[in-house]
A and B are shown apart, each in its own frame.
Chain A
Amino acid sequence: MYTQAMDTMPKELGEAPKTLRSAEELALQQRFDARIDAGDFIEAKDWMPDNYRKTLLRQISQHAHSEIVGMLPEGNWISRAPTLKRKAILLAKVQDEGGHGLYLYAAAETLGTSRDQMIDALHTGRAKYSSIFNYPTLSWADIGTIGWLVDGAAIMNQVPICRCSYAPYARAMIRICREESFHQRQGYDSLLVMMQQGTDAQRAMVQDAVNRWWWPCLMMFGPPDDQSPNSAQGMRWGIKRVSNDTLRQKFVDATVDQARVLGVTLPDPDLTWNEARQHWDFGAIDWPEFFRVVAGDGPCNQDRLANRVQAWDDGAWVREAALAHAQKQATKQQAA
């Protein structure tokens, strides 16, 4: 799942430091830049600029948080899945997302922060997650729509990151991308069945879901390029490979055809084919809404976080017990 980390983090993290540095550090920086330019990978124990480390930690951990929080809107419909096949598919999908979160936490931990510290940052609001998960899943069609649009957008964001300069992140992304295409296909299939073989009520359900999810999905690609001050540094470091607007346009172009096959209308009266550009023009995005939701004022922010905090707090005695037991066993073995 994509995170807007690059575009919503403090500007100073994305800049080169202004303080004086030693000649040795500058030499290391030059060597680092040369490696990046040559397309080499940076591994966990390699020297790296402090801002590079901090930026990556923020991006990877927030990407991980997004996967975990993303389990909640979809998990909401597991108990109500309409067939056993769809229930199994949804369970597998949500399980995958948990696994993706785990791969990403593991990658972030190579940068020197523990998972518990990252979780604490999430629970206290210091760390963010993709704002798309702050919207509610109100019908079964939302589940298919999330697969089609949200996972579709995430795939577009994630494929370039498979070539990220930081190797543990790139490796995690390759694993994730391999599993992700199943998610999008299953979501689309679920909608196609309802639109082509279902009842009028089901078709109305699908159209309603698309109406609510379309614009938030376009926002997943982050603010326009000219309002994304950190993108340039991200590109310089080989963390960000393609610009927000480029990815967003690519997504719209791919999705318009898919929507036509489905037989749904995308809720944008300004959506028109531009023959000169050879792309679809689309309407204005409500950026104030995006920033409001990112800042914590969306429909589900409080519920999502409360859920995660509750699960964590409720599980404290379990985690403590497991450790206590392991310690008892270790003591017994030593005594033996």
Chain B
Amino acid sequence: MTNPDTRTEWPLWEVFVRSRAGLDHKHCGSLHAADAAMAIQMARDVYTRRQEGCSLWVVPSAQITASDPGDKDMYFDPAEDKVYRHPTFYKLPSEVDHM
């Protein structure tokens, strides 16, 4: 009877808590909720049980765009190591060194 039917799975939300006025909101985890009001209520119940927050933000995870330092490692570090890929590492004859 259990069926991971994506039609009934509640969307994922990321939760940000600001514990004291003057500080930034900090990402503290995620939860599933059907709508924004529910997400806020649940975030309060789950992430501020011990009065850990004075302000809550919830954002649908799908709405977040991330930069990927991970990709940088994967795509750029190898390039830095593989010197034959970098144009300045090729000594060309001066008559064609304008590329």
Contacts and interface: CB of A to CB of B under 8 A. Distances in A.
User: Within 8 Å by CB, do A and B touch in the complex?
Assistant: yes
Interface of A: 24, 27-28, 31, 43, 45-47, 95-96, 99, 102-103, 106-107, 109, 114-117, 119-120, 123-124, 172, 175, 179, 309, 312-313, 316, 319-320, 322-323, 325-326, 329
Nearest to A330: B35
A290 B37 CA distance: 45
A61 to B, nearest CB: 13
Given A43-B70, A322-B34, A323-B34, A309 B1 contact: yes
B10 A46 contact: no
Interface of B: 1-10, 12, 28-32, 34-35, 38, 46, 49-50, 66, 68-71, 73-74, 77-78, 81
Given A116-B9, A120-B2, A45 B68 contact: yes
A312 B66 CA distance: 33
Nearest to A182: B50
Given A319-B10, A322-B10, A116 B4 contact: yes
A323 B69 CA distance: 35
B73 A47 contact: yes
A323 B30 CA distance: 18
B4 A102 contact: no
Given A96-B49, A106-B30, A114 B8 contact: no
12 contacts: A27-B81, A45-B66, A47-B74, A95-B49, A115-B9, A115-B32, A117-B4, A172-B29, A175-B28, A175-B29, A319-B8, A320-B8
A99 B15 CA distance: 14
Nearest to B9: A116
Contacts of B46: 99, 102
Nearest to A104: B29
B27 to A, nearest CB: 9
Contact of B30 (A96, A109, A123): A109
Given A114-B9, A313-B2, 13 more contacts: A28-B74, A31-B77, A43-B70, A46-B73, A109-B12, A116-B6, A172-B29, A309-B2, A313-B1, A322-B10, A322-B35, A323-B34, A326-B35
Contacts of B69: 43, 45
Given A31-B77, A46-B73, A114 B4 contact: yes
Contacts of B30: 106, 109
Nearest to B34: A322
Contacts of A107: 29
Contacts of B7: 323
Contacts of A313: 1-2
Nearest to A124: B2
A109 B12 CA distance: 9
B74 to A, nearest CB: 5
Contacts of B28: 175
A116 B8 CA distance: 9
Contacts of B50: 179
A47 B71 CA distance: 8
A2 to B, nearest CB: 20
Given A45-B68, A109-B30, A323 B8 contact: yes
A31 B72 CA distance: 13
A309 B2 CA distance: 7
B34 A325 contact: yes
B2 A123 contact: yes
